[in-house]
Structure 1
Amino acid sequence: MAKTVFITGASRGFGKLWTEALLQKGYNVAATARNISSLDELADKYNGKILPLELDVTDRNSVFKTVERVKEHFGSIDILINNAGYGLFGTLEENTEEEVRQQMETNFFGLVWVTQAVVPIMREQGRGHIIQLSSALGLISFPTLGVYSASKFAVEGLSESLAAEVKGFGIKVTIVEPNEFSTEWGGASAKSSSALPVYENVRTEFFALLSDDLVGIPEATVPAVLKLIESKNPPLRLFLGKAGFPMVKYAYENRFSEWESWSEIANAAHGK
């Protein structure tokens, strides 16, 4: 019996790419997005294997209804890929309240609602694999991407706790941490706050550090994602791309060095 994958943000980028790859491998796919018109061709080609559904992950009631519909249609939900999200560019002073709230509503709360809806189904099945799309920027942060990083740091903390909570029910959790890829994440899918001239040097210095060598090819992620899904013992965390691990390793080495240099003061603050 074919396994069923529930994936959010399936209309473009990683979501659409992985949806097609999963269909080619014979999986049933519930492909959700705010606008599913871009999935029409896949729906015609894989009729019966794909269930395209419009979904705004920030609408909790709609999320639960959609998850139940998928369960009724396919009979199970074996794999959840929480992929919906977007990037917000801008310094903290530039970010508006609406921009900050919407970033968190989509990238974090949307992921929470979908996970909450799917966990009871997987728990009753006694099996399941939840794949949470974080980012290398869920482990380190850069200027002009603070709120985006905050949303992904939240995904990291939530998902690590979730993994321990559901392990006894046969549910596995993996946090996927891509570096930048040439998807629409930094383009059409992204949002940018109105720029203040005072931060122009910050932007210039940051973007000067970036290079094309650090940007991965989206199609190259397909074999890795398929291996992850088919693994009997998937990791809690998985980088995608070659840029994330060196950046994070460098950042954490600096963190440990700083913590160590302040350890005497930190220990004294314990009080006993």
Structure 2
Amino acid sequence: MAKQPRPLTGKVVAITGGARGIGRATAAALIRKGAKVAIGDLDLAVTEQTAAALGGGTVALQLDVTDAGSFERFVAETERQLGPLDVLVNNAGIMLVGPFSEETAAGAQAQVDINLLGVITGSKLALARFLPRRTGHLVNVASTAGKAGIPGGATYSATKFAVVGLTEAIRGEVRGTGIETSVVMPVPVRTELAAGLQKGRGVGLVEPEDVADAIVDALEFPRHDVFVPRQIGRITRIGALLPRKWTEAVGRAMRTDHVLGGADRSARAAYEQRAKASDAAVSEPAAEKREQPASAEVGA
């Protein structure tokens, strides 16, 4: 007998970085399943516009994932308006590309603050609610760059490796409590964050809706490792068994070293300009703690 999906009707879901990209697509997919959704992002006006377009009673809230107080208010207000939290999707993230030796300290710190420390903060806030209830599902959006370091995105890769390890460790700690975890690892996703990236061989860009559907599937049929597309999981597992020089040769054959390293910086200018316009320029240390350009993960 085929396994039946877990119903998502009435489930309360909070999504960070929900105004655009993967976050928006995930909210839309969950609303279609009957879930009650709150989206959080730094730009409240854009978040409210997204919520209005999504409909379904979507709650729009301002959120800076680098500010623990802001994150606490986001989760608390989600519960006040919608009910006890069932699912947190830690999706907000940024990616800066270029040679590691040329990366600014502010750029590195911003990626760590948003991509890693933001996920840590959100995970703790979710678990503080899940553990007493012995139920809940934590979804952390990482990247295939969390399984293989990608040239041109060294710090980004480092943050995504950390998210993968963090989520695996949490999974071990909550085993037997009724709480579930998922780590989502997409290849590059067709969002503004992926502007100017080069295509590898064999696997092209996926759509935000592909990642959203994979997240919904992981909630309906719980599983920890969520690769998008699925065949990337098989490639990753096979690669882990091969000698390093072989896996590196395969990577070069697939041109994975050009995906970020060969990015068209002019094509990425709009994304980077929007990040700066959010009063969160990655090059200005004073703004680092406030940065959260609202696109969802690219997964690289």
Query: Shorter-chain TM-score: what band?
Result: 0.7 to 0.9
Report the equivalent of 1:238. 226
Following superposition, the deviation at residue 90 of structure 1 comes to: 1.5
1:214 and 1:243 in contact (8 A); partners too: no
The letter of the residue matching 1:3 is K
Question: Residue 24 and residue 41 in structure 1: after superposition, are their counterparts in 2 closer, same or farther (change >3 A)?
Answer: farther
Distance 2:70 2:18 in 1: 17
% of aligned pairs identical?
Answer: 29
Provide the C-alpha distance between the structure 1 equivalents of 2:54 and 2:234, rounded to a whole number of angstroms: 40
For the residue of structure 2 that corresponds to 1:7, the secondary structure is: strand
8 Å Cα contact 1:78-1:129 kept in structure 2: yes
Q: 1:126 to 1:249 in 2, by over 3 A?
A: closer
The letter of the residue matching 2:229 is G
Worse overlay, 144-153 or 28-37: 28-37
1:25, distance to aligned residue in structure 2 (A) = 1.9
Note if 1:23 corresponds to 2:31.
yes
| Counterpart Cα distance in 1 of 2:107 and 2:144 | 21
How big is each residue's C-alpha offset from its partner over 1:190-228, in whole Å with a ceiling of 9 and x where there is no partner?
9xxxxxxxxxxxxxxxx5x72595211332334332221
- AA aligned to 1:123 is L
Bigger Rg, which one: 1
Q: For residues 207-263 of structure 1, what are the alpha-carbon distances to aligned partners after superposition, in whole Å with 9 as ceiling and x for unaligned?
A: 5x72595211332334332221122xx2221101156336524542334789xxxxx
1:81-100 per-residue CA deviation (whole Å, 9 max, x = no partner) reads: 11000111022101111111
Separation in 1 of the partners of 2:128 and 2:165? 20
How many residues matched?
238
Task: Provide the rounded CA distance (Å) in 2 between the counterparts of 1:18 and 1:112.
Answer: 21
Unpaired stretches in structure 2, ≥5 consecutive residues: 1-8, 247-300
Contact 2:149 2:157 in 1 (8 A): yes
The 2-side partners of 1:75 and 1:249 are apart by: 39
2:207 aligns to what? 217
What is the deviation of 1:181?
1.7
Corresponding residue SS for 1:150: helix
Report the 3-state secondary structure (helix = DSSP H, G, I; strand = E; otherwise coil) of the residue aligned with 2:181: strand
- Matching of residues 1-272 of structure 1 within 5 Å: 2-44=10-52, 49-187=57-195, 207=198, 210-211=200-201, 213-231=203-221, 234-241=222-229, 244-245=232-233, 247-249=235-237, 251-255=239-243
> d(CA) in 2 for partners of 1:246 and 1:74?
38
| Superposition deviation, residue 22 in structure 1 | 1.3
Quote the offset at 1:135 in angstroms: 0.6
Contact 1:179/1:243, CA 8 A, preserved across alignment: no
Output the CA distance in 2 between the equivalents of 1:142 and 1:251. 15
Amino acid at match of 2:206: G
Q: In 1, are the aligned partners of 2:214 and 2:226 still within 8 Å (CA)?
A: no
SS at match of 1:52: strand
Write the distance in 1 (CA, Å) between the matches of 2:238 and 2:149.
13
CA RMSD of aligned residues (A): 2.4
Name the SS for the 1:123 alignment partner.
helix
User: One-letter code of the match for 1:244?
Assistant: I
CA–CA separation in structure 2 for the residues paired with 1:25 and 1:114:
24
Contact 2:181–2:224 (CA under 8 A) maintained in structure 1: yes
